[in-house]
């Protein structure tokens, strides 16, 4: 059984998904339903989720999927009596486009050096990231410590967004695990049978290792920066 507001909200979500493939933001839902606060939207979303009409896609901040629609749906914006309820529902056609998502949560694995190598700590927290910054593949984030990559626009306190891979082309910025215990963010170069990790700061010298001492753990895919 849906209330008038619940019915209006699910119609609005479905209409937006069909038009753009992106679920509406809570602010957009608040305005569409003429609610005073986002807390009202949260309550409506929770009620629809409990009744099996929608579900939230995991690890995504703005992603709703409509599972079924009320049978007697009316166009969005058409008013219903305040005490009206909708009893029956029908499954949404499987041909409906998969909702796109503008924010994805990826694992945040501690700090990584942009200077002398330091340990990249494994952590349990997550970082919300605009999906547009990420390409295909699995990603994670590391907080940058140090200033050896500032000429590449990477500063202390930035969050490096890293695509998991064990290989990289010459000249790419990688997360390199050195001697099995320390990780660093550097340009990767193959130099006469050796591996050279180059900084992007004239105050630092390149680091040269035997190939077996360096394992690539990912390539830089993007950056996030906080402004305080």
Portion of the chain with pLDDT greater than 90, in percent: 28
Verdict on whether the full-model pTM lies above 0.85: no
Domain boundary among 91, 123, 151: 91
Of these ranges, 14-23, 85-94, 178-187, the one predicted with the greatest mean pLDDT is 178-187
Mean pLDDT rounded to a whole number for the chain? 79
Domain range for 165: 103-224
Residues 176 and 26: their CA atoms lie apart, in Å, by 40
Contact 147, 186 (CB under 8 A): no
Q: Is 148 a catalytic residue?
A: yes
Contact 65, 57 (CB under 8 A): yes
C-alpha separations of 153 from 3, 33, 45, 160, 180 in Å:
52, 43, 41, 11, 27
Residue with the bigger pLDDT between 132 and 195: it is: 195
Helix (H) or strand (E) run with residue 66 in it: strand 64-66
Is the pLDDT at 212 greater than 80, yes or no? Answer: yes
Catalytic residue among 148, 167, 190, 219: 148
Q: Sort residue 41 into left (φ over 0), alpha (ψ -120 to 50) or beta.
A: alpha
User: Is there a domain that residue 125 lies in?
Assistant: yes
- pLDDT at position 188: 96
Contact 207, 186 (CB under 8 A): yes
CATH of the domain at 136: 2.10.109.10
- pLDDT at position 97: 46
Across the range 86-110, mean pLDDT stands at: 57
Is the pLDDT at 214 greater than 80, yes or no? Answer: yes
Domain boundary among 36, 68, 91: 91
In tens, the pLDDT along 141-171 reads: 998 988 999 999 999 989 999 999 999 999 9
85 and 114 fall within a common domain: no
User: Is there a domain that residue 29 lies in?
Assistant: yes
């Amino acid at each position: 059984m849906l209330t008038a507001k619940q019915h209006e909200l699910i119609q609005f979500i479905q209409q937006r998904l069909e038009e753009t493939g992106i679920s509406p933001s809570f602010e957009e839902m608040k305005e569409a339903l003429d609610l005073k606060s986002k807390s009202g939207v949260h309550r409506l979303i929770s009620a629809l989720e409990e009744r099996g009409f929608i579900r939230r896609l995991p690890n995504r901040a703005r992603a709703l999927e409509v599972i079924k629609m009320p049978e007697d749906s009316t166009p969005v914006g058409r008013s219903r009596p305040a005490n009206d309820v909708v009893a029956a529902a029908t499954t949404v056609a499987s041909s409906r486009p998969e909702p796109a998502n503008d924010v994805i949560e990826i694992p945040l694995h501690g700090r990584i050096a942009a200077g002398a190598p330091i340990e990249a700590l494994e952590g349990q927290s997550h970082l919300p990231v605009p999906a547009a910054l990420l390409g295909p593949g699995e990603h994670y984030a590391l907080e940058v410590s140090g200033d050896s990559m500032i000429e590449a626009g990477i500063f202390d306190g930035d969050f490096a967004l890293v695509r998991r891979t064990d290989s990289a082309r010459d000249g790419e910025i990688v997360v390199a695990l050195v001697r099995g215990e320390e990780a660093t963010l550097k340009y990767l170069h193959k130099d006469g049978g050796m591996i050279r990790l180059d900084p992007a700061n004239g105050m630092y010298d390149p680091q040269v290792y035997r190939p077996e001492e360096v394992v690539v753990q990912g390539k830089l895919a993007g950056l996030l920066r906080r402004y305080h």
